[in-house]
């Protein structure tokens, strides 16, 4: 038997004002994206803003459905939209935020496992890292340089594409 360890490097910021201007703008666009959230059941709005290589920003918001689990998270809404409309686009970075009227969110909300799996597939397909900012409104921000650091055991099977 051999014990293995993972080390995940990430940056933390105590305020949006500590981020560089471009990252601040991306976080604020993620806030804007929540305006189109359809979340009447959970009352938990999620928004994402994705910066493409051509500097276009694509927004996504969570879309719930009364027939759980037929809804879709904000990250996958945006990523699948990019895949459908701009299949050759390169994603440079993403900002993700959340808000609810039910309680105050005091820590950054991170992506679910299904979203992380989709994010890792996009990162692998484009063969370059995607930087991710998890933005807690009026709170801390977490920043990772690559999705791979968030899901070290992602399902990746190269033989399936052969």
Over the stretch 136-146, which tens digit does the pLDDT of each residue have? 999 999 999 99
Give φ, ψ of 19 to 5 degrees.
-80, 155
How many domains are contained in the chain?
A: 1
Catalytic pick among 11, 20, 56, 75: 75
Distances (CA, A) of 64 to 5, 9, 45, 124: 37, 33, 10, 28
- Residue 145: give the domain boundaries: 11-154
CATH number, domain containing residue 67: 3.40.140.10
Told to judge if 75 belongs to the known catalytic residues of this protein, a careful annotator would answer yes
Tokens of 20: 């560089």
Enter the pTM of the model: 0.94
In tens, the pLDDT along 71-121 reads 999 999 999 999 999 999 999 999 999 999 999 999 999 999 999 999 999
Q: Would you state the pLDDT for residue 138?
A: 93
Domain assignment of residue 117, yes or no: yes
Looking at the domain assignment, is residue 162 inside a domain? no
Whether 5 maps to a domain, the answer reads no
């Amino acid at each position: 038997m051999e014990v293995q360890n993972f080390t995940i490097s990430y940056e933390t910021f105590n305020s949006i004002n500590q981020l560089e201007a471009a990252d601040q703008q991306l976080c604020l666009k993620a806030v804007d994206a929540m305006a189109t959230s359809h979340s009447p059941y959970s009352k938990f709005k999620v928004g994402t803003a994705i910066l493409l290589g051509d500097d276009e920003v694509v927004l996504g918001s969570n879309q719930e459905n009364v027939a759980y689990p037929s809804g879709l998270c904000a990250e996958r809404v945006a990523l699948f939209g990019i895949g459908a409309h701009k299949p050759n686009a390169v994603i440079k970075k993403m900002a993700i935020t959340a808000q609810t009227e039910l309680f105050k969110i005091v820590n950054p909300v991170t992506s679910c496992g299904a979203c992380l799996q989709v994010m890792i597939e996009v990162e692998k397909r484009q063969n370059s890292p995607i930087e991710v900012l998890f933005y807690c409104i009026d709170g801390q921000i977490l920043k990772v340089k690559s999705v791979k650091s968030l899901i070290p055991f992602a399902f990746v099977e190269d033989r399936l594409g052969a």
